Amino acid sequence: MWLGTFLQAVDLPIAPPLPGTEPETTMPTRPETSASPAQAITPELRRWIVEQAQAGQSASVVLQSMLAAGWAEDVATQALATSLHDHLDELAAQARPLAVVPVPAPRLDGSPNRIDCGDRSVEVLLTMAHPRVVVFGNLLSPEECEALIAAAAPRMARSLTVATQTGGEEVNDDRTSHGMFFQRGESPLVQRIEERIASLLNWPIENGEGLQVLHYRPGAEYKPHYDYFDPAEPGTPTVIQRGGQRVGTLVMYLNTPEQGGGTTFPDAQIEVAPQRGNAAFFSYERPTPSTRTLHGGAPVLAGDKWIATKWLREREFK
């Protein structure tokens, strides 16, 4: 009995006319020449893909049917990946609705290649929408990087992470760096950098946690994680009493490691190369994986890695 059902499922003519087409003969065909307009991923195509998934069709069957109908392979795989990913995000958001909150955001209207931050002009090197990632160049001068390292070095201790059960802090094997926190505004150097960051990210200086400096030796890493506090963890209500959720992160590279040590975003499959003075910014408007802000510090393969991280909260961090 089940075999019959199984065969039926496999044999089902799964390709209803692809969106934008009626009878099979008018299905879009693969563009033959480079002059042909590229095939677009239309809302109808996305809807059709989600319907196929809901009907239990495997991705490979859906892909085959799209190829057979004349969709170009790059368009078909891209359409499948984004449609299913977005659909899963929607399902997750429905299962655990969490409000979207305002987040730090650099002023990027008009696609500027530099942003004037008052005392310094910062380069915009890369922007990505989802996850929201912006890579900046020349945020800190070489002298500022050196001065931060020198001020932090005598105060370094094994890095702690927030203990999710209690909201306290603990040593964690996923994080093999050493670090320290500056108080907000604790020196003219720290104050100046914090003012620059507030201007760059358009976010109140008071909403920032104290700058954290991290030092990774060869082999050290920070395994992929989210920077927001997981609402499901018992320690979270305690942690967010001070300033609410984290909503953005700025990782500033204080040196250029000889090899390795990039900041990775596994969902986006990108890696930011650590270059002295540059910085990677990302924001997350709700504390969920749908933000695709999973990120980590890849193992340092040779040399040392020094970074300063600024975490940004929803409200004043006291």
Nearest-approach distance from CB 226 to Fe ion, in angstroms = 8
CA dist., res. 155 & res. 314, Å (int): 28
| DSSP code of residue 229 | P
- Check if the beta carbon of residue 54 is closer than 8 Å to that of residue 84: no
Residue 251 contact, options Fe ion, ligand AKG, none, Cβ 5-8 Å cut-off depending on partner type: ligand AKG
Range 299-318, binding ligand AKG (CB under 6 A)? 307, 309
Nearest CA to 251 among 277, 228, 289, 288? 277
Q: CB-wise, 249 or 290, nearer to ligand AKG?
A: 249
297 binds, among Fe ion, ligand AKG, none (CB under 5 to 8 A by kind): ligand AKG
Residues 294/226, Cβ–Cβ less than 8 Å: yes
Q: Which is nearer to ligand AKG, 72 or 296 (CB)?
A: 296
Q: 41 vs 213, which CB is nearer to ligand AKG? A: 213
Residues in binding contact with ligand AKG, number by CB under 6 A:
9
Q: Report, in Å, the least distance between residue 199 CB and Fe ion.
A: 23
Closer residue to ligand AKG (CB): 46 or 310? 310
Q: Is 119 helix (H, G, I), strand (E, B) or coil?
A: coil
Cis upstream peptide for 131 (omega within 30°): yes
For 190-225, the DSSP string reads HHHHHHHHHHHHT--GGGBPPPEEEEE-TT--EEEE
Residue numbers 250-309 binding ligand AKG by CB under 6 A:
251, 263, 295, 297, 307, 309
Q: Closer to ligand AKG at the Cβ: 27 or 251?
A: 251
Give the shortest CB-209-to-ligand AKG separation in angstroms.
11
Q: How far is the CB of 222 from Fe ion (least distance, A)?
A: 7
Residue recorded with tokens 């001070």: 242
Find, among 248, 220, 236, 230, the residue nearest to 287 by Cα: 230
How far apart are the C-alpha atoms of 92 and 86, rounded to whole Å? 10
CA–CA distance, 87 with 267 (Å, rounded to integer): 15
Q: Quick one: 199 or 309, whose CB is closer to ligand AKG?
A: 309
Which of Fe ion, ligand AKG, none does residue 45 bind (CB under 5 to 8 Å by kind)? none
Q: Which residue is nearest to ligand AKG (CB)?
A: 297
Q: Which residues bind Fe ion (CB under 5 A)?
A: 227
Residues between 226 and 245 that touch ligand AKG (CB under 6 A): 227
CB 147 → ligand AKG: shortest distance, Å?
Answer: 20
User: 111-132 b/e with 16+ CB inside 10 Å = b?
Assistant: eeeebebeebebebbeeeeebb
Q: Is 209 in the site for ligand AKG (CB under 6 A)?
A: no
Using CA of residue 44, residue 50, residue 52, residue 57, what is the dihedral sign?
positive
Beta carbons of 88 and 50 less than 8 angstroms apart? no
- Closest CB to Fe ion among residues 221, 227: 227
Residues near ligand AKG, by CB under 6 A: 222, 227, 249, 251, 263, 295, 297, 307, 309
